[in-house]
Amino acid sequence: PEHTNVTEREEGCRRSHTMTAPRRGGRVVIVDNLDSYTHNLASLVFSVTGSRPLVITNTDRAAYQAALDSPEGVLCVILSPGPGRPQRDDDVGMCREILADASLPVFGVCLGYQALAVAHGLPVSHSPYGPTHGQVQPVNHTGAHPMFEGVPQGFLATRYHSLAVCHTDGASPSFPESMLKLAWTDDGVIQAIAHRSLPLWGVQFHPESVCTEHGATLVRNFHQMALSLCPPSLPTPLPPAGGEAPAEGEAPAEE
């Protein structure tokens, strides 16, 4: 089937990078592309995971690095919707760097999805059907990717976008070998993509919208994929005062 296999995803998650490795107990970080829907997305993540995500603006690299370096760590990243174009650094901030690093599972929404597309060779231009702001339309998917597990064909999704993954003439692009098309609307506009071997996924529609069906399922699937792809980082036990740390498998001496 046309979807990323577990071995490839694990390899993508475990590659050596400059950033801190993901941790099973780590937080979900939402990079805010200055959108009014970001905190709706944060509320959905909280309702699904039971933990409040950390929301960081897309220019606050110091806060993002502090989250990576914290004892809790970062499990995965969501790139929020936002105004502007994915080709502009001023509009996407550090999203481009996070996607290039690819050491953490990433889920892009709307502008975040478009940034993922551009980062991996797909064109983003004006949708051939013009702006679709607040339109609720059915979405179909391949049925073969874990992102859409438990999501029926033709589920209703809310669209807020004027750009799309397409050429300047509105034609759908040929996909590079590294990328997968996962979902689309009846008019043929692509609505979800994934990288074949890295833990990078994205949707054009808004899962956090009250009119989108199964939005919580999509976020839950992403969170579960992040948990399954990234093994726990266990802290190294501190040695007892005045002695050496116990050998692996050896119980510490009683006081």
Give the separation between CA 13 and CA 213, rounded to whole angstroms: 29
For the four alpha carbons of 184, 190, 194 and 195, in that order, the dihedral sign comes to positive
Give the separation between CA 160 and CA 137, rounded to whole angstroms: 11
Which of 76, 95, 110, 230 is catalytic? The answer is 110
Strand duo 124-126 + 106-109: pairing: unpaired
Which of 206, 213, 223, 230 is catalytic? The answer is 206
Give the separation between CA 19 and CA 104, rounded to whole angstroms: 9
Which of 76, 95, 195, 208 is catalytic? The answer is 208
Give the separation between CA 52 and CA 46, rounded to whole angstroms: 5
Is 208 designated active site? Answer: yes
Place of tokens 């806060």: 63
Q: Helix 6-14 crosses helix 215-229 at what angle (to 10 degrees)? A: 70
Give the separation between CA 76 and CA 105, rounded to whole angstroms: 5
Q: Helix 215-229 crosses helix 38-49 at what angle (to 10 degrees)? A: 70
Q: What are the b/e assignments for 127-164, b being 16+ CB within 10 Å?
A: bbbeebeeeebebbbbeebbbbeebeeebebbbbbebb
Active site residues: 110, 206, 208
